[in-house]
Structure 1
Amino acid sequence: MHTHTNPTAGAVRRPSGLSMFYILVFAWAWGVGLLFAVAAEPMVRIFGEVSLGNPLVFVTVWSPTILAFAVTAVHGGRAGLRDLMGRIFRWRFPLRWYLVATFGIAGVALGARFLQAFLLQTPPPPVWDVPRWPEFAVAGLAMLVLDPGPIGEDPGWRGFALPRMLDRFNPTLAALLLGVIWAVWHLPAFLFSGMPQSSLPLGWFCVSMVSVTVLMAWVTINARGAVIPAILMHWAFNRFSDLSQDGAMYAALAYAGAALAVILGTRGSLGYRRA
């Protein structure tokens, strides 16, 4: 399997700001959650109920990307911003990583759902309903824009944080730590009934998040540091996974198995080697 250097690595170490980024991104998201928890009436009156349609919540989901630009401007200046923008808009990388990021993760998710349907004798996902494919495609493309998660989060987590984690840790450890951080960042969403996470089993959700982070790191590294594959994988993860009470265990184990296969197949490097 091919290995790839960090495309921005060189003789000069990248200005970090990683600690500042993590402090600010948690302060923002958890601070908003705390305000809605302790001052629910005035917050709801001003902003509306907690949901992804709430403008404050929507912007909060975007906080990793917003803060990635802010911290980069402070610590990296113009050179840092060019690096970050290059990662976000880099699209020239092998086609297979587009396919892995979308069809690969969809295959893992749907495989878990078919196994669940077989074992529990429940209806399988309607992927063979060919007449509905245009409907599924339109809905899926719409959610790439309407769902704030992939575009709002991944330039921050994968474009800013991941390369800096790779400067400090071996690739597998960097991905696992980032996955834990990403999962913990979501915890306030479990407290509010209007958020998608409120009805999900927390433990299996965290296993899925950490495992998918390993897969996202793998495709990002092999796409020359590009963020687009991570955005597409996040989108596919949200669209095809069943993380409900019935399906969460199957999804989590499938993602964990895929992540373990990647770690073993790359001998822990995820395709990365230092320049």
Structure 2
Amino acid sequence: MKKQARFPYQFFVVAFAWSWLVWLPLVLASVGILPIGKDLLSALTVPAIIVGAFGPAAGTFYCLKTYHAKGAIRQYLRGLLDFRLGWRAWLLPILVLGGSTWIAWMLPELWGEPRVDMLLPSLWAFPPYVLFTILLGGGQEELGWRGYILDPMEARLGAWLGNLVLGVIWACWHLPLYFIQGSTQTFMPFAGFVLQTIGYSWFHAYVRQASGKRTWAGLISHGWANAFVPLFPTVVMVAGAAQPRYWIWVSLTFVIGLMTMALSGTRLQRRMRHLAASSAK
């Protein structure tokens, strides 16, 4: 796949346009501008959020068609059939993100916060829910964020700053969800959400790098991150709630992102020193 000659800014234009236009009717209905009944709005919310979340994928395919040589889309799709991710890409999202979400869920009980019950109907619902989040419940965003635009961002700004900027953009892309009735984001402080998306951006980038930059690593890491949310709830669905679990969760996510990026940088430095030593022999 031929590398683009210039930075593909249109990726963000298409991604935001697709998602925000799909979500706009829900926003207008939620604030009372568009006359949609509450029952209909409730029925439309989840399907519309899912469709809107394909905005980054739309941006990817637009740029592959516009910036790259013929056959780029075919090559990209062929890469989606490669599941040779390595053990770190398969296990780290489960162990690290599952552990941090569980800690944020349980820790406030030590100072008297009441437990927030699991939102899934049973533990048996968790395996199919994981598959859902990987394919349709947020994981599909990674067809664009890590699957395409990350490499140009890192090439332009470096790994640390490129992922930080991408994390902020990623958070802003979610802004319409803050105005949609029934969206989880309406209960999440936006400052904390930015902290979380930056941490996730660093962590998902590390997982993708560990997989050999395979797109599925991003989908799986993002999917597991979202799947743990109803299993170990950290957000109290009450307007104005203090959300101590949420702030613990996003802080842990940010720190985990910092640690994985530092680890990635250390490994890269070791690899470069090893290559330099080998060349000197």
TM range (shorter): 0.7 to 0.9
Confirm or deny that 1:76 pairs with 2:68: yes
Measured in 2, the distance between the counterparts of 1:116 and 1:161 equals 37
User: 2:181 is paired with a residue of what secondary structure?
Assistant: coil
TM value normalised by structure 1: 0.79
Task: Tell me, yes or no, if the aligned pair for 1:64 and 1:157 is still in contact at 8 Å.
Answer: yes
Task: Report whether the alignment pairs 1:112 with 2:113.
Answer: no
Change (3 A) 1:56 1:108: closer
Corresponding residue to 2:11 among 15, 21, 43: 21
Tell me the CA shift for residue 13 of structure 1: 3.9
**Structure 2 counterpart of 1:163, one-letter code:** D
- Please name the residue that 2:188 is paired with: 200
Mapped contact 1:183–1:209 kept (Cα < 8 A): yes
Determine if contact 1:50/1:192 at 8 Å carries over to the other structure. Answer: no
RCO comparison, higher one (Cα < 8 Å, 6+)? 1
C-alpha RMSD of matched pairs (Å): 3.2
Report if aligned partners of 2:147, 2:218 keep a CA contact under 8 Å in 1.
no
Q: Give 1:84's aligned amino acid.
A: Y
What letter matches 1:247 in structure 2?
A: R
Match of 2:257 in 1: 259
- Taking the aligned partners of 1:273 and 1:144, their CA distance within structure 2 comes to 32
CA distance in 1, matches of 2:25, 2:155: 35
Unaligned runs of 5+ in 2: 236-242, 273-281
- Whether contact under 8 Å (2:45, 2:182) holds in the other structure is no
Output the CA distance in 2 between the equivalents of 1:197 and 1:177. Answer: 20
CA deviation map 1:112-143 (0-9, x unaligned):
222233244433777xxxxx643433443344
What aligned pairs does 1:49-68 form with structure 2 within 5 A after superposition? 49=41, 53=45, 55-68=47-60
Q: Please tell me whether the aligned partners of residues 221 and 271 of structure 1 are also in contact (alpha carbons under 8 angstroms).
A: no
1 CA distance for matches of 2:248 and 2:149? 29
- Equivalences for residues 150-189 of structure 1 within 5 A: 150-151=139-140, 153-189=141-177
Question: Post-superposition shift, 1:179?
Answer: 0.6
**Aligned match for 1:101, one of 93, 96, 104:** 93
C-alpha displacement of 1:67:
2.5
- 8 Å contact 2:98–2:228 — kept in the other structure? yes
Given candidates 162, 177, 199, the residue that maps to 1:211 is: 199
What is the CA–CA distance in structure 1 between the aligned matches of 2:95 and 2:164, rounded to whole Å?
Answer: 23
Q: Which runs of 4+ in 1 moved over 6 A?
A: 268-274
Q: Which has the larger radius of gyration?
A: 2
SS of structure 1 residue aligned to 2:244 = coil
Whole-angstrom CA distance in 2 between matches of 1:84 and 1:249: 37
Quote the offset at 1:30 in angstroms: 3.0
Determine if contact 1:88/1:155 at 8 Å carries over to the other structure. Answer: no
Provide the C-alpha distance between the structure 2 equivalents of 1:32 and 1:109, rounded to a whole number of angstroms.
30
Identical aligned residues as a percent: 22
In structure 1, the residue matched to 2:277 is none
Q: Secondary structure at the match of 1:234?
A: helix
SS in structure 1 at match of 2:182: coil
1:42-78 per-position Cα deviation (integer Å, ceiling 9, x unaligned)? 5748xx5267645444321112112311221121143
1:76 partner amino acid: H
For residues 218-237 of structure 1, the aligned pairs below 5 Å read 218-237=206-225
AA partner of residue 252 (structure 1): V
Report the TM-score when normalising by structure 2: 0.77
Aligned length, in residue pairs? 256
Worse overlay, 171-180 or 264-273 = 264-273
Report how far residue 202 of structure 1 moved.
Answer: 1.5
Partner SS, residue 89 of structure 1: coil
Q: Is the 8 A contact 2:167 2:197 kept in 1?
A: yes
State how far apart, in whole Å, the 1-side matches of 2:249 and 2:151 are. Answer: 27
